[in-house]
C-alpha cells in the first residue's frame, strides 16, 4: 500500500496546499527582514535602545541567517527537509513570542538571533519541499515562480505590514503576528507534506557554519563601531581579529573537505559571479533605501509608520511586473542586457530618490518605482545566473549561495548604510548651545532632547538631510560599481549566454527563482 501511494504521488489539491504552506513560511522569513524598518523608531523609544542596539535589532537576524544558510541545506539533506521545516517553524514561533514581549533591547536582539536560526532551518527546506512535491516539470516551474514572487514582494510588504500593525497595536505585534501563521503551517505540514526522507550518508559540517558566523558577526561589529563617535579601538581590534580568523579558517576548512559547503572555484564562472554580484548589490540598494527613507519620513517629516511603509512600497509597484518580465525576456535577450541594464535602471532610480528627498515628493515616488523596476529585473535573472553557472551536482550549493547573497546584501546595507547615516549626522549636526554632547550620537538621541532644547529639532532635521543625501550617493556609487562589474564579467557573446542560460536549462533556471 505504501509503495502504491508513493508511486501515485500527492493529489493536485495536496500539491498546491503544500505550496501554500511553504509559501507562508517563506513569507514570514522575508517579512522579518524588513518589517522592523517602520517599527524601529517606536520600539527604540519604548525600549530605550541606543543607536547601536537599534541597528543590532535589525542586523542580528540576517547576520545569523547568512552564517547558517550554507550548512542548513546540507543538514536538511541529512535529516530530511520536512523535519527541518517543522523544526524551523517551532524555533521561529517560540522566538517570535519572546521577541513580542521582550523587556529590554538585549532580549530583543537575542530573540532576533534565535529567529534567524529558525529561518535558516526553513529557507532551504521550502525549495526542497516544492521540488519533492511537484513531479510535473511545468507545475514545478510555476511553483518555483510563486516562490520567487513571494521573495520579491515580501521584502517590500514588510514596512507596510509593520506600519499597519503599529497603527492598531503595540510594537510587539510585529512579532506576535508570526505565531498563528506558525501554528497553521506546522499543522498543515504534518498533514500534507511528503514523508520525511533523510539521507544519513550526507555530510554536514557544523564547524564551517560556526567559522562563517564568527567572520560575519565580527565584520558587522567593526563597521558599527567605526561609525560610533568616539570609537572603541580595542573593541574594533578584537572584532576585526575575530572576523579575519573566522573567514580564514572557513576558507581553509572548505579546501580540506571532500564535500565543502562552498566551492570557491565556482566563482570563476562568469554567469555565477555576475549573479552573485547582482543579487547582493540589488538587495543592498533596496534594503538601504527602505531603511533610511522610512526613518527619515517617520522621525522628521511626521509620517505615521503605515504612511512611511506605503511610501517605500512604491518600489514594489515596479519590482513585481519587472521581475516577471525579466524572466520572460531572458531567452530572447540573453543575460547581460537584463542583469546589467536592470542595475543601471536602479542606479537612475536611486539618483531620482536622492533628488526627490529635497522636497519633491512626486519625484521621490517616481524614483522609488524606477528603483523597483531596475532591481526587479536584475534579481529576476540573478538566481538563474547563479544556478545556471553551477557545475553538475552542485545545484544545492548554488541555491545556498543564492540565498546567502540576498541575506548578505540586506545585512551589509543595514550595517554599512545605517552606520554611515549615523556617522555623517554626528559629524555635521550643529548643536545649539546648552544641548548635551550625547545628542550628537544619532538622530534618536537628538529627538529625545528636542522638546526641552529650542532649535535642536531644526538642527537635527538639517543634519539628517545631509546624512540622507550622502548615504543615497553611496548607494548610487555601489550600483555604479555593480553595473561596471557585471558588464565586464559578462562581456562576450550575448547570444551564447542567452542560449546557455535561458534555453538549455529551463527547469533548473526557473527552479532557482
Rounded Cα distance between 462 and 111, Å, is 35
C-beta atoms surrounding 169 within 10 Å: 12
Phi then psi for 435, rounded to 5 degrees?
-85, 130
Rounded Cα distance between 37 and 293, Å, is 9
The yes-or-no verdict on residue 238 having pLDDT over 70 is yes
What is the average per-residue pLDDT within 160-180?
84
Output the average pLDDT for the chain.
Answer: 79
Rounded Cα distance between 33 and 201, Å, is 34
**Would you state the pLDDT for residue 370?**
93
Rounded Cα distance between 22 and 151, Å, is 12
Question: In Å, what is the CA distance from 238 to each residue of 64, 66, 194, 411?
Answer: 19, 22, 47, 21
Q: Are 270 and 239 in contact (CB under 8 A)?
A: no
Q: Which three cell numbers stand for residue 370?
A: 524606477
- The dihedral through the CA atoms of 276, 282, 284, 290 has a sign that is negative
pTM: 0.74
- Interval 124-153: pLDDT, tens: 777 777 777 777 666 665 666 666 667 667
**Would you state the pLDDT for residue 229?**
62
Query: Which residue did the predictor score with more confidence, 346 or 263?
Result: 346
How many residues are recorded in the chain?
513
Phi then psi for 231, rounded to 5 degrees?
-75, 145
Q: Give the pLDDT band (50/70/90) at residue 492.
A: low
Question: In Å, what is the CA distance from 88 to each residue of 122, 182, 275, 348, 388?
Answer: 5, 10, 28, 39, 28
- Interval 312-341: pLDDT, tens: 878 878 877 777 777 677 767 777 888 888
**Would you state the pLDDT for residue 501?**
42
Share of the chain above pLDDT 90, in %: 12
- Interval 46-84: pLDDT, tens: 888 776 677 778 778 877 887 787 777 777 777 777 888
Cell match 514588510: residue? 158
Rounded Cα distance between 412 and 416, Å, is 6
Amino acid at each position: 500500500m505504501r509503495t502504491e501511494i508513493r508511486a501515485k504521488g500527492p493529489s493536485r489539491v495536496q500539491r498546491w496546499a503544500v505550496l501554500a504552506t511553504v509559501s507562508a513560511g517563506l513569507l514570514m522569513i522575508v517579512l522579518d527582514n524588513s518589517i522592523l524598518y517602520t517599527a524601529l523608531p517606536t520600539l527604540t523609544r519604548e525600549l530605550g535602545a541606543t543607536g547601536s542596539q537599534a541597528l543590532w535589532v535589525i542586523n542580528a537576524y540576517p547576520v545569523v541567517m547568512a552564517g547558517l544558510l550554507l550548512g542548513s541545506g546540507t543538514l536538511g539533506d541529512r535529516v530530511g527537509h520536512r523535519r527541518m521545516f517543522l523544526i524551523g517553524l517551532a524555533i521561529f514561533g517560540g522566538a517570535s513570542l519572546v521577541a513580542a514581549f521582550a523587556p529590554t533591547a538585549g532580549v530583543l536582539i537575542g530573540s532576533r538571533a534565535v529567529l534567524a536560526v529558525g529561518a535558516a532551518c526553513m529557507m532551504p527546506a521550502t525549495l526542497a519541499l516544492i521540488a519533492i512535491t511537484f513531479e510535473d516539470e511545468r507545475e514545478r516551474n510555476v511553483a518555483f515562480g510563486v516562490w520567487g514572487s513571494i521573495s520579491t514582494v515580501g521584502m517590500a510588504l514588510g514596512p507596510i505590514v509593520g506600519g499597519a500593525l503599529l497603527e492598531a497595536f503595540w510594537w510587539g505585534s510585529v512579532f506576535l503576528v508570526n505565531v498563528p501563521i506558525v501554528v497553521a503551517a506546522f499543522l498543515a505540514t504534518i498533514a500534507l507534506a511528503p514523508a520525511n526522507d533523510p539521507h544519513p550518508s550526507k555530510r554536514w559540517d557544523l564547524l564551517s557554519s560556526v567559522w562563517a558566523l564568527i567572520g560575519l558577526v565580527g565584520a558587522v561589529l567593526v563597521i558599527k563601531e567605526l561609525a560610533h563617535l568616539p570609537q572603541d579601538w580595542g573593541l574594533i581590534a578584537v572584532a576585526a581579529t575575530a572576523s579575519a580568523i573566522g573567514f580564514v579558517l572557513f576558507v581553509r576548512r572548505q579546501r580540506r573537505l571532500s564535500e565543502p559547503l562552498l566551492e570557491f572555484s565556482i566563482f570563476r564562472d562568469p554567469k555565477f559571479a555576475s549573479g552573485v554580484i547582482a543579487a547582493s548589490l540589488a538587495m543592498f540598494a533596496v534594503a538601504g533605501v527602505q531603511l533610511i527613507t522610512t526613518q527619515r519620513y517617520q522621525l522628521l517629516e511626521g509620517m505615521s509608520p503605515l504612511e512611511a511603509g506605503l511610501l517605500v512600497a512604491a518600489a514594489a509597484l515596479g519590482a513585481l511586473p519587472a521581475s516577471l518580465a525579466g524572466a520572460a525576456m531572458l531567452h530572447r535577450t540573453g543575460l547581460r542586457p537584463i542583469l546589467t541594464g536592470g542595475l543601471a535602471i536602479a542606479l537612475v532610480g536611486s539618483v531620482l530618490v536622492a533628488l526627490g528627498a529635497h522636497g519633491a515628493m512626486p519625484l521621490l515616488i517616481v524614483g522609488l518605482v524606477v528603483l523597483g523596476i531596475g532591481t526587479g529585473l536584475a534579481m529576476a535573472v540573478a538566481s538563474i545566473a547563479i544556478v545556471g553557472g553551477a557545475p553538475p551536482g552542485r545545484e544545492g550549493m548554488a541555491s545556498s549561495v543564492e540565498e546567502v547573497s540576498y541575506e548578505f546584501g540586506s545585512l551589509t546595507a543595514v550595517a554599512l548604510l545605517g552606520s554611515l547615516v549615523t556617522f555623517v549626522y554626528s559629524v555635521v549636526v550643529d548643536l545649539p548651545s546648552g544641548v548635551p554632547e550625547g545628542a550628537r550620537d544619532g538622530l534618536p538621541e537628538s529627538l529625545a532632547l528636542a522638546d526641552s532644547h529650542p532649535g535642536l529639532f531644526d538642527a537635527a532635521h538639517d543634519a539628517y538631510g545631509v546624512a540622507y543625501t550622502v548615504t543615497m550617493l553611496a548607494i548610487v556609487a555601489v550600483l555604479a560599481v555593480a553595473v561596471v562589474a557585471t558588464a565586464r564579467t559578462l562581456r562576450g557573446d550575448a547570444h551564447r549566454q542567452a542560449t546557455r542560460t535561458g534555453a538549455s536549462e529551463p527547469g533548473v533556471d526557473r527552479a532557482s527563482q
